[in-house]
């Protein structure tokens, strides 16, 4: 089989890239290791930067997003026994929208169906060859039959554990990583959110986050140990811990119910450089991971794909190679700023030291400075709603 762009990975970044290329008349084939049902059922984050919403709307993927997405003008910080609101819209003129990654995945899958896009699910044993030449080959097995895809470029959108990043020679690839000494214990339940906006709590017992997927489905997290056993946490025990960490005002409006899903997730920061080697480009989690505190993971993937689609359009339609050459540097500039923000917010909000320590007092002093300073509040807000891309 021959195509212009082989896309390894059928998550949001891979399908969005395929959709963007289709709108410009560029052929692509998506290879995804998992089934469509599996990919669409994965529970992921869903706080979208304004730039992400604008892009999805611009390319015809905004109808259900507009109907069902929850637009947030700000967020709440809880510390020292009180809630403090950061007004994103007043400070930056921008907003964020809560719309689950699961729903974006479904919207993208439906769009590729309508366009007759080639998406091959359950493609096994994917291997990428020839990326230093001008005609890479992607081998795979489907239904027990070996096949191959010849292409001009390969887009590696297959996540942290995918084959794409491992294809870049070890002598070329440089990785940067930080593993955090805590995890997030999360619960998903069909109960209304405690507030209309997200709440970030910096409690002495540890961080907590009140989030949501819709007006009737809530997602809560709290800081736990990396080796925490989820079996030790009944629903009732989780709800009681959350009420403590959000304080009595929020606890009074927090509705509880049986969990749909519970999990313990470790946190890490990770960046791979370069994001391009020869005819292979990495995008999304294949190139970088951020802790979920700043809600940057999906948004960074969308930004990568937008830059990549522009580079490929310039190559195929204008005969220009400059945007392909600069792809890695362009993306990494934004990636590192998002990594910085996610690291900063993570270290600011989580319990890293004893409540009576000097370091804890510094955390609280910085939080007080943020909510008391327009400049500091603006810096938080402009990073949260999303830097330009």
Q: Could you say which DSSP state residue 154 is in?
A: E
Closest CA to 50 of 88, 105, 91: 88
| Neighbouring C-beta atoms of residue 74, cutoff 10 Å | 20
- Where b means 16+ CB within 10 Å and e means fewer, 18-48 reads bbbbbeeebbbbbbbbbebeebeeeeebbbb
DSSP string computed for 279-323: TEEE-GGGTEE--GGG--HHHHHHHHHHHHHHHHHHHHHH---HH
Apex 217 CA angle, 214 and 221, nearest 5: 110
Q: Quick check: is 266 catalytic? A: no
Of 78, 140, 180, 200, the catalytic one is: 200
Q: Which of 193, 296, 327, 350 does the annotation list as catalytic? A: 296
Angle between helices 358-372 and 327-349 (to 10 degrees): 110
219 vs 233: CA distance, rounded Å: 16
Angle, CA of 216, 221 and 227, to the nearest 5°: 145
Catalytic annotation present for 337:
no
Burial 233-256 (b: 16+ CB within 10 A, else e): beeeebbebbbbbbbeebeeebeb
Assign 239 to helix, strand or coil. helix
- DSSP letter string over 157-186? -S-TTSHHHHHS-TTT-EEEEEEEEEEEEE
- Of the residues 72, 203, 288, 350, only one is catalytic, namely 72
Is 296 annotated in the active site? yes
Q: Rg for the chain (alpha carbons), in Å?
A: 21
Q: Is 72 a catalytic residue?
A: yes
Distance CA 100, CA 162 (A): 23
Which of 12, 136, 193, 292 is catalytic? The answer is 292
H-run or E-run covering 28:
strand 28-31
Asked about 99 being catalytic, the answer comes back as: no
Token pair for 381: 């807000």
Nearest to 243 by CA among 233, 235, 251, 253: 251
Active site residues: 72, 200, 292, 296, 384
């Amino acid at each position: 089989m021959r195509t212009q762009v082989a896309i390894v990975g059928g998550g949001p970044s891979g399908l969005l890239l395929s959709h963007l290329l289709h709108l410009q008349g560029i052929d692509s084939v998506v290879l995804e290791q998992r089934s469509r049902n599996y990919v669409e059922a994965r529970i992921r984050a869903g706080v979208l930067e304004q730039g992400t919403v604008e892009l999805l709307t611009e390319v015809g993927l905004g109808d259900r997003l507009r109907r069902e997405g929850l637009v947030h003008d700000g967020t709440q910080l809880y510390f020292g026994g009180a809630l403090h609101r950061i007004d994103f819209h007043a400070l930056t003129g921008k907003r964020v929208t809560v719309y689950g990654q699961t729903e974006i995945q479904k919207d993208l899958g439906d769009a590729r169906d309508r366009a007759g896009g080639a998406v091959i699910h359950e493609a096994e044993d994917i291997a990428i060859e020839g990326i230093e030449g001008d005609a890479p080959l992607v081998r795979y097995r489907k239904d027990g039959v070996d096949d191959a895809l010849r292409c001009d470029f390969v887009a590696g959108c297959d996540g942290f554990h995918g084959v794409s990043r491992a294809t870049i020679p070890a002598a070329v690839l440089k990785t940067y990583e930080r593993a955090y000494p805590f995890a997030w214990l999360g619960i998903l339940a069909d109960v209304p959110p405690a507030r209309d906006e997200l709440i970030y709590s910096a409690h002495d017992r540890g961080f907590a986050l009140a989030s949501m997927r819709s007006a009737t489905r809530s997602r809560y997290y709290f800081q736990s140990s990396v080796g925490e056993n989820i079996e030790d946490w009944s629903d009732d025990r989780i709800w009681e811990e959350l009420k403590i960490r959000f304080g009595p005002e929020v606890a009074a409006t927090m509705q509880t119910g049986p969990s749909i899903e519970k999990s313990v997730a470790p946190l890490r920061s990770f960046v791979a450089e370069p994001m391009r080697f020869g005819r292979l480009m990495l995008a999304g989690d294949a190139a970088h991971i951020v802790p979920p505190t700043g809600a940057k993971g999906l948004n960074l993937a969308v930004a990568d794909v937008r830059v990549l689609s522009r580079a490929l359009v310039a190559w195929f339609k204008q005969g220009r190679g400059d945007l392909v050459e600069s792809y890695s540097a362009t993306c990494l500039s934004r990636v590192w700023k998002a990594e910085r923000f996610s690291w900063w917010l993570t270290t600011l909000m989580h319990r890293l030291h004893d409540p009576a320590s000097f370091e804890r007092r510094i955390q609280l002093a910085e939080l007080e400075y943020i909510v008391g300073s327009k400049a500091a509040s603006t810096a938080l807000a402009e990073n949260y709603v999303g830097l330009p891309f």
